[in-house]
Amino acid sequence: MLNQLRLWIVIAGILMLPIQISVKAQTNTANETIYIYNTADCDQHSDLFLTEVNHNLAQFGYEIEQVTEEEIENFQMAGSVFSVQFDTCFEMRDGKEQILISIVAGQSDEIKQISPILFPTFDLFPAGDVNFPAGSEAGENFSVSYITGAALYAANHCQDAVPFLEDALLMIDLLEPENVFYYGKMALEFYLGNCSVVREDYITAVLYYENGLITSGPFWQIRSVYHAINLSWVYLQTDDEIKAFEIADFALKTSNYWASVTPFWISFNLKVLRIHAQLNILASRFNDALADLNRAIQFSTNPEIVRHPSKNLLLSLYDLRGQMYRALYEWDSALADFNAALELDPAYAEAYYQRGLLYASILQTGVEFYDEALADFQHYLELAPEGEHAAEAAQYITDLQSQQQSLNN
């Protein structure tokens, strides 16, 4: 029983969010900023909507500031910021002036803090959501509601975002059907599904996510891997493992297919493999999880498949597989993965902490690794003095030093 409890404690640690996200605190003296940036090379018309959006956001203590794509990348590198990609392109269609809009909400920390499995934003199709005739009242009202809801979602205010997103979902039906790209409506349903998860309303979340599962090709192919993965997680929370993996497997097959025909999709497919592994871990399907991680690492380290692998993704794969091996008491394999991560990036703090846990676990078998465990926990604190595991690492150091001193006496 003790070993089983220890295993579940380790598995729970595997599924914790690896990095804490800092969110700026709201003050009473000034509005918090939500950054709007454009990505499309077109004649932008954002000013048509942002005055009204700012009016909506002011009641929640926020205001819009428009910045360039380069500026938002610098802001994001410096820390967590609230942001929304909002493109409003002017174009001519059949001799008529049209406005094509595209909205991608920034990654919600509310979702990230629930589970690293969940997709926090829907950014698969940034090419366009909806287009409408210039001057269309329905189109402009839809845009204002959508951007307001997306901004509040990005600022971790799902409760306040929902009414605006629901209004946009209703308004989208007032637009001409030929002007609504199917992923425009899907994006709204995705954000509403995520907000339902935040308030633990899984029944409503299922309804929103399921709209992204309509097949668009072979029977196993789904329209949105994002909806499918989040829906699979919800089904696991409600103890419906059969449905969860029916959908998760369809999502993986769809992702595998697109990766085989579209190079752009390969890196995303590796993320889906990692998430599929995490779903398997959540369901205690450890052999299946290892198979997913083995495949993802094999692909990531094969230059014929992945020419420019993401170092951060590969680090996370080694780290996750190392934790899996440690949970299954396969010490040598776990050590090899943590070492591989540190060879790839000697400053990867997470691997030092996880390897320290491995050495501490081995101590229970009677093999002395006090010096190795202490060195790894100390190295973690040097690299991440305010990191997610800082308190635990410091406590391990204190406990290990005390045990070591007792043995020496």
Q: Are residues 178 and 242 in the same domain?
A: no
Look at the chain and report how many structural domains it folds into: 3
In a domain, 368, yes or no: yes
Q: Is residue 385 part of a domain?
A: yes
Lowest-pLDDT choice from 117-131, 372-386, 389-403: 117-131
Q: Exposed (0-12), middle (13-18) or buried (19+): which is 390, by Cβ within 10 Å?
A: middle
> Same domain for 44 and 179?
yes
> What local confidence, expressed as pLDDT, does residue 348 receive?
95
Q: What is the CATH number of the domain that holds 390?
A: 1.25.40.10
Question: Tell me, what's the pLDDT at 91?
Answer: 72
Q: Which two tokens stand for residue 213?
A: 């599962």
Q: What is the pLDDT of residue 117?
A: 94
Which of 169, 199, 229 terminates a domain? The answer is 199
Predicted local distance difference test score (pLDDT) of residue 79: 60
Which of the four pLDDT bands, split at 50, 70 and 90, describes residue 295? very high
Dump pLDDT digits (tens) for 67-94: 887 887 777 666 667 888 887 777 766 7
Please report which confidence band the pLDDT of residue 200 belongs to, taking 50, 70 and 90 as the band edges.
very high
Closest CA to 46 of 60, 74, 67, 76: 67
Cα four-point dihedral sign 133, 136, 142, 147? positive
Percent of the chain with pLDDT over 90: 46
pLDDT of residue 178: 59
Q: Each residue of 95-139: pLDDT tens digit?
A: 777 778 888 888 888 999 999 999 998 876 554 577 777 788 888
110 and 142 part of one domain = yes
d(CA 223, CA 225): 7
Q: What is the pLDDT of residue 224?
A: 86
Supply the pLDDT for residue 351.
96
pLDDT at 343: 95
Together in a domain, 176 and 232: no
Examine the domain organization and report whether 216 and 142 are in the same domain: no
Query: What's residue 256's pLDDT?
Result: 87
Q: Which of 294, 318, 336 is the last residue of a domain?
A: 294
CB-CB contact of 224 with 183 (8 Å): yes
The region that residue 94 occupies, defined by phi over 0 for left and psi between -120 and 50 for alpha, beta otherwise, is left
pLDDT exceeds 60 at position 216:
no
d(CA 289, CA 248): 13
Judge whether residue 273 has pLDDT over 60. yes
Looking at the predicted structure, is the pLDDT value of residue 246 above 90? yes
Predicted local distance difference test score (pLDDT) of residue 278: 95
- Would you state the pLDDT for residue 292? 95
Q: Is the pLDDT of residue 188 over 80?
A: yes
Same domain (yes/no): 172, 239: no
Q: Which residue has the tokens 């995520």?
A: 194
Residue 249 has pLDDT above 90, yes or no: yes
If asked whether residues 195 and 217 sit together in one domain, one would say: no
The pLDDT assigned to 18 comes to 34
Answer yes or no: do 99 and 220 share one domain: no
Q: In this structure, is residue 304 part of a structural domain?
A: no
> Sign of dihedral through CA atoms 376, 378, 382, 386?
positive
User: Is the pLDDT assigned to residue 283 strictly greater than 80?
Assistant: yes
Q: What is the mean pLDDT of residues 166-190?
A: 79
Among residues of the chain, what percentage have pLDDT more than 70? 84
Domain boundary among 153, 178, 199: 199
Give the per-residue pLDDT at 192.
Answer: 96
Span 308-349, pLDDT tens digits: 668 888 999 999 999 999 988 999 999 999 999 999 999 999
Q: Is residue 231 part of a domain?
A: yes
Residue 324 sits in which domain range?
A: 310-409
Question: Does one domain contain both 39 and 183?
Answer: yes
Asked if pLDDT for residue 364 goes beyond 90, the answer is: no
Q: Are residues 191 and 46 in the same domain?
A: yes
| Mean predicted lDDT score pLDDT of the chain | 83
Q: Is the same domain home to 155 and 257?
A: no
Q: Is residue 205 part of a domain?
A: no
Chain centre to alpha carbon of residue 218: 27
